[in-house]
């Protein structure tokens, strides 16, 4: 063998020996080697040069400063929500318990119209509960802006005709209007009753809903009606029914923290502080109190037991025709004329005023006017031919009388005074032999 060449068998022998004497490597070291291999195989992403050289202006909206939300702490919540808690039930009107006791004493006799003719008395007690509930809802719909006496009379007529869902739907609008007249806004209430009755038959099988939300969805039904209906029909207290009486009296006696403009605002204000146990009797007490003593126009404060503690005491009776006094408007000073100045001086000196001159209109006599004109002509002419002028005087009289008789309608008669005046003028002009008397003889027709 040449010197530079190596025998492959000599190299293979030590390799075989090394394979026989293998050394076991721990598994932990194997995992470390794999991790190192993976770390060497990381790929580095390189962006193109064009993206780095992009010259578009940056968007400043990304760098806009945004205000951070305020983090509320427990003591801050209590301090901020403290006035809301006052509105929720901490505020109470002064002496309201005494006022309520006096109100119950004044209403003990039950002499108000609502006690005998309210919606709870308008139902037919012999009818089924379903029909009674429908009648209570119908009475409340009729009672809006109507006195209890008128509502009760209308319900009596409806019950005599048959106040059920089916019977009301069979009635025409004219017949239903005659039955409920003279209820306030009876024409619109006829439409509301028909629509509400139809929805009750289709959706509730002839019965009324059992919640305030569903009742308010009916046409012609508001929150006041819904709360009272829940109490009367279903015997459930869901809220205070506030009508005109409760709204007026609550503001008068100071049972609201601030003056309210609508009955719904009054309801929320009363429910915010009044205990829940008293909600059911407030409406009935205040309505009767408003009908008898605390009336809208002329309250009888002398008979009220709360006269000492009422903030509106002393209102007394006021005539409804009196209007509030208006403040005098600033008027511009008027410049006096000379006539006004003279009148003032005459009044001070007690000079009697001159009576105004009357315009005298001449009497309109046809004959006298024509005779006077002819007489003037005779005086001016002074001609010896007097007879011709006389004929001219007589001719217009005859012509005038003929014309008058030929007119349609009632002919104009010559009065005896006119004839006497004409005779006197003729006698002055004519000689004595030819003078005529006032009594003329009628000429015979040839």
Tokens of 409: 């309608």
Give dist(CA 70, CA 58) in Å, integer: 30
**Domain for residue 386, yes or no?**
no
Last-in-domain residue among 190, 210, 238:
238
Co-location of 222 and 278 in the same domain: no
Terminal-to-terminal C-alpha distance of the chain = 207
Give dist(CA 311, CA 313) in Å, integer: 6
* CATH code, domain carrying 106: 1.10.1670.10
Give dist(CA 248, CA 208) in Å, integer: 30
Co-location of 199 and 260 in the same domain: no
**Domain for residue 66, yes or no?**
no
Question: What pLDDT, on the 0 to 100 scale, is given for residue 389?
Answer: 44
**Domain for residue 70, yes or no?**
no
Residues in the chain: 446
Question: What pLDDT, on the 0 to 100 scale, is given for residue 295?
Answer: 93
Co-location of 104 and 160 in the same domain: no
Co-location of 139 and 188 in the same domain: yes
Q: How far is CA 76 from CA 68, 79, 83, 84, 85, in A?
A: 17, 5, 13, 14, 14
Co-location of 221 and 129 in the same domain: yes
Q: What is the pLDDT along the chain (446 residues), one digit of tens a residue?
A: 555 555 555 555 554 555 444 444 455 554 555 555 555 555 555 555 555 555 666 666 666 656 656 555 443 433 333 334 444 447 999 999 999 999 999 999 999 999 999 999 999 999 999 999 999 999 999 999 999 999 999 999 999 999 999 999 999 999 999 999 999 999 999 999 999 999 999 999 999 999 999 999 999 999 999 999 999 999 999 999 999 999 999 999 999 999 999 999 999 999 999 999 999 999 999 999 999 999 999 899 999 999 999 999 877 654 444 444 455 554 545 555 555 656 655 565 555 555 555 655 555 444 445 445 554 554 445 444 444 444 444 444 444 444 444 454 455 566 666 777 777 766 666 655 554 554 455 555 54
* CATH code, domain carrying 228: 1.10.340.30
CB 289 within 8 A of CB 277: no
DSSP state of 217: T
**Domain for residue 406, yes or no?**
no
Co-location of 150 and 245 in the same domain: no
Co-location of 132 and 203 in the same domain: yes
Domain that holds residue 284: 89-111+240-317
Helix (H, G, I), strand (E, B) or coil at 202: helix
Which residue among the candidates 17, 214, 224, 392 is catalytic per the annotation? 224
Burial of 370 (0-12, 13-18, 19+ CB in 10 A): middle
Helix (H, G, I), strand (E, B) or coil at 382: coil
Our count of domains for the chain comes to: 2
Token pair 């959706």 in the structure block, residue: 203
The secondary element (H helix, E strand) that includes residue 338 is: helix 338-349
Last-in-domain residue among 317, 346, 367:
317
Positive or negative: CA dihedral 322, 324, 325, 331? negative
Co-location of 203 and 271 in the same domain: no
CB 252 within 8 A of CB 294: yes
**Domain for residue 141, yes or no?**
yes
Co-location of 209 and 144 in the same domain: yes
The beta strand positions in 55-207, using DSSP E, are none
**Domain for residue 78, yes or no?**
no
Co-location of 150 and 201 in the same domain: yes
Give dist(CA 370, CA 393) in Å, integer: 8
334 is catalytic: no
Q: Residue 423: CB partners within 8 Å, gap ≥ 6?
A: 436, 437, 438, 440
Give dist(CA 277, CA 237) in Å, integer: 9
**Total Cβ atoms within 10 A of residue 412:** 13
Last-in-domain residue among 317, 343, 364:
317
Long-range contacts of 442-445 (CB under 8 A, 24+ apart): none
Co-location of 200 and 190 in the same domain: yes
**Domain for residue 197, yes or no?**
yes
**Domain for residue 270, yes or no?**
yes
CB 216 within 8 A of CB 222: yes
Give dist(CA 320, CA 369) in Å, integer: 67
- Please tell me whether the overall predicted TM-score, pTM, comes out greater than 0.75 for this model: no
Co-location of 221 and 304 in the same domain: no
């Amino acid at each position: 063998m040449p010197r530079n060449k190596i025998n492959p068998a000599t190299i293979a022998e030590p390799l075989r020996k090394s394979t026989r004497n293998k050394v076991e490597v721990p598994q932990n070291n194997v995992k470390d080697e794999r991790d190192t291999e993976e770390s060497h195989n990381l790929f580095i992403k390189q962006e193109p040069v064009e993206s780095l050289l992009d010259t578009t202006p940056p968007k400043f909206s990304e760098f806009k400063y945004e205000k951070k939300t305020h983090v509320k702490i427990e003591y801050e919540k209590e301090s901020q929500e403290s006035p809301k808690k006052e509105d929720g039930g901490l505020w109470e009107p002064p002496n309201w318990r005494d006022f309520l006791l006096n109100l119950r004493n004044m209403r003990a006799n039950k002499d108000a119209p609502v006690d005998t003719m309210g919606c709870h008395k308008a139902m037919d007690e012999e009818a089924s509960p379903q029909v009674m509930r429908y009648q209570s809802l119908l009475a409340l719909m009729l009672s809006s802006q109507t006195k209890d006496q008128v509502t009760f009379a209308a319900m009596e007529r409806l019950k005599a005709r048959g106040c059920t869902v089916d019977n009301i739907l069979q009635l025409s609008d004219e017949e239903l209007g005659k039955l409920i007249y003279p209820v306030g806004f009876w024409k619109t209430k006829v439409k509301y009753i028909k629509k509400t009755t139809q929805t009750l038959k289709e959706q509730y099988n002839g019965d009324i809903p059992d919640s305030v939300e569903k009742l308010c969805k009916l046409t012609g039904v508001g929150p006041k009606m819904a709360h009272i209906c829940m109490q009367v029909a279903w015997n459930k207290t869901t809220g205070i029914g506030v009508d005109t009486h409760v709204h007026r009296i609550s503001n008068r006696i100071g049972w609201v923290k601030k003056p309210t403009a609508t009955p719904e605002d009054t309801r929320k204000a009363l429910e915010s502080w009044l205990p829940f146990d008293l909600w059911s009797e407030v409406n009935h007490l205040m309505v009767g109190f408003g009908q008898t003593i605390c009336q809208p126009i002329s309250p009888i404060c002398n008979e009220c037991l709360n006269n000492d503690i009422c903030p509106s005491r002393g209102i007394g009776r006021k005539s409804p025709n009196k209007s509030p006094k208006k403040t005098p408007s600033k008027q511009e000073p008027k410049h006096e004329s000379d006539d006004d100045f003279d009148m003032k001086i005459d009044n001070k000196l007690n000079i009697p005023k001159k009576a105004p001159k009357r315009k005298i209109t001449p009497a309109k006599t046809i004959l006298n006017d024509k005779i006077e004109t002819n007489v003037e002509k005779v005086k001016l002419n002074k001609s010896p031919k007097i007879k011709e002028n006389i004929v001219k005087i007589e001719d217009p009289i005859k012509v005038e009388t003929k014309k008058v008789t030929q007119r349609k309608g009632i002919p104009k008669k010559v009065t005896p005074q006119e004839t006497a005046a004409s005779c006197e003028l003729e006698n002055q002009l004519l000689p004595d032999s030819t003078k005529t008397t006032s009594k003329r003889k009628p000429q015979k027709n040839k």
